A and B are shown apart, each in its own frame.
Chain A
Amino acid sequence: MFLRLLSDIQWRAAHPTWRRMTSSQRSSSTTAEPQPVALPAQAQVVICGGGVMGTSVAYHLSKMGWKDIVLLEQGRLAAGTTRFCAGIVSAARPMSIELKMAHYSNKLYQQLEQETGVQTGYMKTGSISLAQTQDRLISLKRIASSLNVMGIPCEIISPKKVLQLHPLINIHDLVGAMYVPEDALVSSANVSLALATAASRNGVQIHERTCVSHVTIQKGRVTGVETDRGRIQCEYFVNCAGQWAYELGHSGEEPVHIPLHACEHFYLLTHPLKEPLSSSLPTIVDPDGRIYIRNWQGGILSGGFEKNPKPLFTEGRNQLEIQNLQEDWDHFGPLLSALLRRMPGLESLQIMQLVNCPESFTPDMRCIMGESPTARGYFVLAGMNSAGISYGGGAGKYLAEWIVNGYPSENVWPLDLKRFGTLQSSRTFLRHRVMEVMPLMYDLKVPRWDFQTGRQLRTSPLYDRLDAQGARWMEKHGFERVKYFVPPGNDLLDLDHSKTFYKPDWFDIVGSEVKCCKEAVCVIDMSSFTKFEISSTGDQALESLQYLFSNDLDVPVGHVVHTGMLNENGGYENDCSIARLSKRSFFMISPTDQQVHCWTWLKNHLPDDSNLVLEDVTWKYTALNLIGPRAVDVLSELSYAPMTAEHFPSLFCKEMSVGYANGIRVMSITHTGEPGFVLYIPIEYALHVYNEVMNMGQKYGIRNAGYYALRSLRIEKFFAFWGQDLDAFTTPMECGREFQVKLDKGMEFLGQEVLLEQKQNGVYKRFTMFILEDHDTDMDLWPWWGEPIFRNGRYVGKTTSSAYSYTLERHVCLGFVHHFDEQTGEKLVVTTDFINQGEYEIDIAGQRFQAKAKLYPFSSLFTQRRRKDEGVDLTSEC
């Protein structure tokens, strides 16, 4: 029946001649196809895929003034997943960037019909997300908080209100719901056709029945596209091939890894009810029942995300378009039960069809966009995790900006293709992971959940040792990292299965690890961090790095520098620690998930000079972080070298022997602000050094610790972390790191101008630390990240990370404060006074807690000889 919808539209398939076809012609046109218009020999941009993504990118590119664009579709426009899509446009998304995309899409679709004359079926119905449990309600409240501060109307409503909004719903098992009145329904295929129509009018050439066989890449740049109808030379290629994006990425000589995998997705269509449902009835999402229900032509459309998804096309494509996939009623059974439980009145409603519509899913449930790390000009927009129509408009806009400007207007790092590497590209991994991801769509996601599939891919050599000592693991970029160590005797199962928005059960465990870091010494395995070595024959390395980094790297050999790797706008592309190993070589440590992004950035910015060598040495070293006042004792006993501050000052790096092992790179940094060292150990020595450290450390009370302890330590000291607090839109000036910027280092560096300007004129947001004051750690909901910050009752920003500080015995949230003009909403300069003179509140799932804002950390926390019972005076500084 979607075909029928499609065929209502008159559609021009190729520029410049309009091909007018009536519906009957169209449906019978498979044989009597008019001679297709020849492909152009070259174009600036070639977009592959005529679904909502491809057409949206074409639409936005052409809007931004680019005209020389060709869109290729292997079958018909909007014939793939887009054609079958349920057409729900909902802003109820947990992630802020996703929310923004959906919000933009909604606004775009609303005016699309007026703009293009193509009926899009846009209907503002609103949506109601139901909560069957209190925990679900909390998660909805969190979303509601962030929607409200975005200016998107949204309210938490009672079950009774639900019944008023939708008379068919059984509300007996509900505890509440979230109502988003502006969510809409569209016919997704028609939206796609409307976007194509508009793009076409703006000059985009659209060619159907044209299949891209591969993309040619020379010297790391896209040069052209080979199709079954000839070659097109192009500068930019955009892979919007949906579930075929993975294969298309692998079709060329130089593969572009796009980790996504298709799963079958079912939804049900019914005949109209006796009294046909109103087309303005809100869409129902019942995540606890794993289903969504929308009105559809007087009947309903209902699908869901089952617990046992069926991945498909693991071996690759075996058909051109998604046709004739089997309906599987037995598979749909549980969802049907949920539907009838939610709307018992539908028992007698007649079935029209069960639609099998494959959707593509990604390893982390977030879509994939951005430029390939290996091929410049190769862009990707795919892997929508079944929210394609919600994201379509916004994602197309950001990608078009990215192509045109070199960067999008929002921080899209969470969606950046470069968050993945080749390691997420295994078909087996993807197949297993998407089977976990698809049910997660509607699973209750509590703070700090971890994926269970596709694990133990990258591990430290100490993995087994740590695991045997009770380590609990999380995964980052495929690397297993310890969260905390369960002491012997604790009920392990309990710990692994508890999920809560409140105080977690590892609270005391992490507390004791923190205490040990403060008073004795702890070992944290930090091998996952990305490690690069840059060296050159002459001064090239230093010169290049001086240009790429804001801090002065021309320091004496053996010094370690914390510095940002900034973009032209002064924003953090990376935040790293760089040790000068010799005059001409540097050792660079950056966050785990920077492996691909940082490499690409450096590759793209370093001069093409064979005397300058960049090497990824992540796999070569195991990193042990010794944190605590007794770390110095342990290390000096093991190396027979004095490690005190006089001999080994902070931010210092030296190769030395530890135990029998020589050549251990010891740095006096801990990433936490606590005293201690990080040992970079060639992996074959890892076990030896670990054993020596643990043996020697025994008398100093050494113990293992995990990342949760590290996190608590760094947040209470106001240490920002890239990927959580810092992003490409944050400058060092905005997060109080002027001291890491050497504007006068004697040479130009990326972002310098912006930073200079900010230094003079001030910043428009300011990284601030908040200490929750009336928050009861035991009883209240915990902050996580993304909680709105209110200053004198007005929204000023969101938190980016938070942790419980065991020292302060308070929750600490870090986040950015903006100064919005009260009338215009315009962003104003944020001054120190502005920060200090406000009354702050943090909104956790709708409940506001008073917070004390600080721009500088408590100096008392850095005092090494801090006495045990010395109370911390919360008001003593700043």
Chain B
Amino acid sequence: MLAASCCDRRMCVCPGPRRIAIPVRSSRLPLLSDAMPAPAHLFPLIRNCEISRIGSTACYCHHRHLCCLSSHFAHSHFRYAPQKKFAALYRPKEHFNHFIHTRDYASTPQRFYLTPSQVNSILKANEYSFKVPEFDGKNVSSVLGFDSNQLPANAPIEDRRSAATCLQTRGMLLGVFDGHAGCACAQAVSERLFYYIAVSLLPHETLLEIENAVESGRALLPILQWHKHPNDYFSKEASKLYFNSLRTYWQELIDLNSGETTDVREALINAFKRLDNDISLEAQVGDPNSFLNYLVLRVAFSGATACVAHVDGVDLHIANTGDSRAMLGVQEEDGSWSAVNLSYDHNAQNEREVERVKMEHPKSEEKSLVKQDRLLGLLMPFRAFGDVKFKWSIELQKRVVESGPDQLNDNEYTKFIPPNYHTPPYLTAEPEVIHHRLRPQDKFLVLATDGLWETMHRQDVARIVGEYLTGVHHQQPIAVGGYKVTLGQMHGLLTERRARISSVFEDQNAATHLIRHAVGNNEFGTVDHERLSKMLSLPEELARMYRDDITIIVVQFNSHVIGAYQDEEL
């Protein structure tokens, strides 16, 4: 776990006081230095563009991963040099030689290919589908259902997902959570956030009713109906603790009773902030149960981003904290697919975000706030749950760590204070909320952690999911017309189009289909089984270098219902 957290690309803390990174570094150096062919042999598609493309992706990964080791090294060797090298490595024979070579040095595990059915069983292990039940043959909800899936790269996976239907109010909640420095925070948020949102949305009377029921020991009104994959677990031990925090929240809401109707945007923001606050408080207060005590500390010291959608009729709200992303798939009149972003990434690439952070801190810190595209040079997302290292004062951190359990005390990472840490908090869990009125042409929503978005462009995502969901592969018929096309080119094109169609039929789940593409796509935007097989058979310790955890929820909208809403309004 130490190694994992140390090497997490979000949280680069290798220059820590203990030389904890050294064994890791030495074990990986040979692979990296010698062998930039490593990725090459992994992707033996003998095409120039492909190699350079994969090369650059792979290098990018390395670079991001290793910047903490030596940014100079990473930049000079990995980002630029390999591409040239690859160009020279064009001949397949050399590839082969290099492969042998690499194997010797890096002791890469045996090269074996997964069969298509093995690939499928890996891809489908976590898939989950939910169809909104129909009444009298009609689905009156604006949501037809959703498909979700996740593919681990970290061991264990640090992504989480949640989906639930609000039972006391209308609407459906869906969210993806990308944890870092462990999965504890993402796990906690995935269990708790929707309750906080649901409670925030509840009218005063219902809150009173619930409180009275708890008070008198009566059965509680169910608030949420969860749609969970068997692997999506809830922590039993902490449920009492979590419930108490939640109850305190609604009691406060009852006391506050503003009498106003609940605004979804406000409810979402309040819920996010409140939950983050509770996480922080629980860690400060601690728990007499040592297991729980350790748990709440791990939750608080790890972090998680969240991207949550609330769909109620034609009103779609996206609350986003961090760098997961929500994207709307829109079908244009000509049948083609386009993508509309419904969230902003909170990271260094978002100028407004950088501005915001700078505004919140004295001018003197301007230079140290964002370094190497990271918050304080360490953290990639600029907003997150947990991560109290970026929120608490130094004194508080020291106090909590010292009084905490030994495990925590011994952990170099938790002890380590970020550099230039002058005016906490540097991090917030407050989400940015975007509201969108659904139109009949809005066919689906994709919520996904950055593992997807760093491999695929949203436009491709829109097209692949769109084609998948409509079942019609709007592949324009090819017409040669006056163009100069050779038989060979045409053959390549046709083979690729066939592959695209055949991969659709393998999947019953849109999210699975998208993952298949994200991991297996070749330069044509089609799934290459060999590549897919190799990516999925990477050993645990290597997987994280080539890809991130990917979690996807694809929500499909009911255009008829949405159209009817519109008509009513007209």
Interface residue? B88 (CB, 8 A): no
Interface residue? B484 (CB, 8 A): yes
Interface residue? B27 (CB, 8 A): no
Q: Is the CB of B477 within 8 A of A270?
A: no
Q: Is the CB of A349 within 8 A of B487?
A: yes
CB distance from A592 to the nearest CB of B (A): 43
Interface residue? A351 (CB, 8 A): yes
Interface residue? B359 (CB, 8 A): no
**Cβ-closest chain A residue relative to B493:** A329
Interface residue? B478 (CB, 8 A): yes
Report the bound CA distance from A349 to B484 in whole Å.
Answer: 10
Report the bound CA distance from A371 to B497 in whole Å.
Answer: 48
Residues on A with beta carbons closer than 8 Å to the beta carbon of B479: 327
Against A, the Cβ 8 Å flags (1 = close, 0 = not) of B478-503 are 11100011111011011101100000
Against B, the Cβ 8 Å flags (1 = close, 0 = not) of A331-361 are 0110011011000001111111110000000
**Cβ-closest chain B residue relative to A333:** B494
Which of A336, A337, A353 has a CB less than 8 Å from the CB of B480? A353
Interface residue? A330 (CB, 8 A): yes
CB distance from A290 to the nearest CB of B (A): 15
Which of B486, B494, B497 has a CB less than 8 Å from the CB of A350? B486
Report the bound CA distance from A27 to B490 in whole Å.
Answer: 32
Interface residue? B121 (CB, 8 A): no
Which residues of chain B (69-90) have a CB below 8 Å from chain A? none
Report the bound CA distance from A330 to B485 in whole Å.
Answer: 15
Residues on B with beta carbons closer than 8 Å to the beta carbon of A326: 477
Q: Is the CB of B480 within 8 A of A327?
A: yes
Known: A336-B494, A354-B480. A330 touches B487 (CB 8 A): no
Report the bound CA distance from A327 to B479 in whole Å.
Answer: 7
CB distance from A330 to the nearest CB of B (A): 6
**Cβ-closest chain A residue relative to B498:** A333
Residues on B with beta carbons closer than 8 Å to the beta carbon of A616: none
Q: Is the CB of A330 within 8 A of B478?
A: yes
Interface residue? A774 (CB, 8 A): no
Residues on A with beta carbons closer than 8 Å to the beta carbon of B487: 268, 270, 336, 339-340, 346-351
Report the bound CA distance from A352 to B494 in whole Å.
Answer: 17
Q: What number of B residues sit within 8 Å (CB to CB) of A?
A: 17
Interface residue? A748 (CB, 8 A): no
Residues on A with beta carbons closer than 8 Å to the beta carbon of B485: 350-351
Known: A333-B494, A333-B498, A336-B494. A349 touches B486 (CB 8 A): yes
Residues on B with beta carbons closer than 8 Å to the beta carbon of A539: none
Residues on A with beta carbons closer than 8 Å to the beta carbon of B478: 327, 329-330
**Cβ-closest chain A residue relative to B479:** A327
Q: Is the CB of A340 within 8 A of B477?
A: no
Report the bound CA distance from A246 to B475 in whole Å.
Answer: 34
Known: A336-B491, A340-B491. A330 touches B486 (CB 8 A): no
Which residues of chain B (496-555) have a CB below 8 Å from chain A? 497-498
**Which of A329, A337, A346 lies at the interface centre, i.e. has the most chain B CB atoms within 10 A of its CB?**
A329
Against A, the Cβ 8 Å flags (1 = close, 0 = not) of B233-262 are 000000000000000000000000000000
Report the bound CA distance from A333 to B477 in whole Å.
Answer: 12
Report the bound CA distance from A283 to B78 in whole Å.
Answer: 55
Q: Is the CB of B477 within 8 A of A327?
A: yes
**Cβ-closest chain B residue relative to A336:** B491
Q: Is the CB of B486 within 8 A of A328?
A: no
Q: Is the CB of A330 within 8 A of B484?
A: no
Residues on B with beta carbons closer than 8 Å to the beta carbon of A353: 480
Residues on B with beta carbons closer than 8 Å to the beta carbon of A336: 487, 490-491, 494
Against A, the Cβ 8 Å flags (1 = close, 0 = not) of B449-490 are 000000000000000000000000001011110001111101
Q: Is the CB of B486 within 8 A of A351?
A: yes
CB distance from A145 to the nearest CB of B (A): 36
Which residues of chain A (117-173) have a CB below 8 Å from chain B? none
Known: A270-B487, A351-B486, A351-B490. A330 touches B480 (CB 8 A): no
Residues on B with beta carbons closer than 8 Å to the beta carbon of A268: 487
CB distance from B484 to the nearest CB of A (A): 6
Report the bound CA distance from A330 to B486 in whole Å.
Answer: 15
Report the bound CA distance from A750 to B262 in whole Å.
Answer: 102
Residues on B with beta carbons closer than 8 Å to the beta carbon of A270: 487
CB distance from B384 to the nearest CB of A (A): 47
Report the bound CA distance from A530 to B60 in whole Å.
Answer: 80
**Cβ-closest chain B residue relative to A329:** B478
Residues on B with beta carbons closer than 8 Å to the beta carbon of A351: 480, 485-487, 490
Report the bound CA distance from A347 to B486 in whole Å.
Answer: 6
Residues on A with beta carbons closer than 8 Å to the beta carbon of B475: 330
Against A, the Cβ 8 Å flags (1 = close, 0 = not) of B26-41 are 0000000000000000
Which of B477, B484, B486 has a CB less than 8 Å from the CB of A329? B477
Report the bound CA distance from A352 to B480 in whole Å.
Answer: 8
Q: Is the CB of A350 within 8 A of B495?
A: no
Residues on A with beta carbons closer than 8 Å to the beta carbon of B480: 327, 329, 351-354
Which residues of chain B (349-402) have a CB below 8 Å from chain A? none
Residues on B with beta carbons closer than 8 Å to the beta carbon of A346: 487-488
Against B, the Cβ 8 Å flags (1 = close, 0 = not) of A306-340 are 00000000000000000000111110110011011
CB distance from B498 to the nearest CB of A (A): 6
**Which of B485, B486, B497, B498 lies at the interface centre, i.e. has the most chain A CB atoms within 10 A of its CB?**
B486
**Cβ-closest chain B residue relative to A344:** B488
Q: Is the CB of A330 within 8 A of B491?
A: no
Residues on A with beta carbons closer than 8 Å to the beta carbon of B484: 350
Report the bound CA distance from A340 to B477 in whole Å.
Answer: 21
CB distance from A166 to the nearest CB of B (A): 17
Residues on A with beta carbons closer than 8 Å to the beta carbon of B495: 333, 337
Report the bound CA distance from A333 to B494 in whole Å.
Answer: 6
Q: Is the CB of B477 within 8 A of A328?
A: yes
Residues on A with beta carbons closer than 8 Å to the beta carbon of B488: 340, 346-348
CB distance from A323 to the nearest CB of B (A): 16
Which residues of chain B (423-464) have a CB below 8 Å from chain A? none
**Which of B485, B490, B495, B497 lies at the interface centre, i.e. has the most chain A CB atoms within 10 A of its CB?**
B490
**Cβ-closest chain B residue relative to A302:** B487
Report the bound CA distance from A5 to B75 in whole Å.
Answer: 64
CB distance from A224 to the nearest CB of B (A): 45
Report the bound CA distance from A332 to B479 in whole Å.
Answer: 12
CB distance from A261 to the nearest CB of B (A): 24
Residues on A with beta carbons closer than 8 Å to the beta carbon of B494: 329-330, 332-333, 336-337
Report the bound CA distance from A347 to B493 in whole Å.
Answer: 13
**Cβ-closest chain B residue relative to A347:** B488
Which residues of chain A (344-392) have a CB below 8 Å from chain B? 346-354
Report the bound CA distance from A668 to B465 in whole Å.
Answer: 72
> A interface vs B, CB < 8 Å?
268, 270, 326-330, 332-333, 336-337, 339-340, 346-354
A-B contact pairs, 17 of them (CB 8 A): A268-B487, A327-B477, A327-B478, A327-B479, A329-B494, A330-B494, A333-B494, A333-B497, A333-B498, A336-B487, A337-B494, A337-B495, A347-B487, A347-B491, A348-B487, A349-B486, A351-B485
Contacts A333-B494, A350-B484 known; 18 new A-B pairs at CB < 8 A: A270-B487, A327-B478, A329-B478, A329-B490, A330-B497, A333-B491, A333-B498, A337-B494, A337-B495, A340-B488, A346-B487, A346-B488, A347-B491, A348-B486, A348-B487, A349-B486, A350-B485, A353-B480
- A-B residue pairs, 9 tightest by C-beta: A347-B488, A333-B494, A329-B478, A351-B485, A348-B486, A349-B487, A351-B480, A346-B487, A336-B491
> B interface vs A, CB < 8 Å?
475, 477-480, 484-488, 490-491, 493-495, 497-498
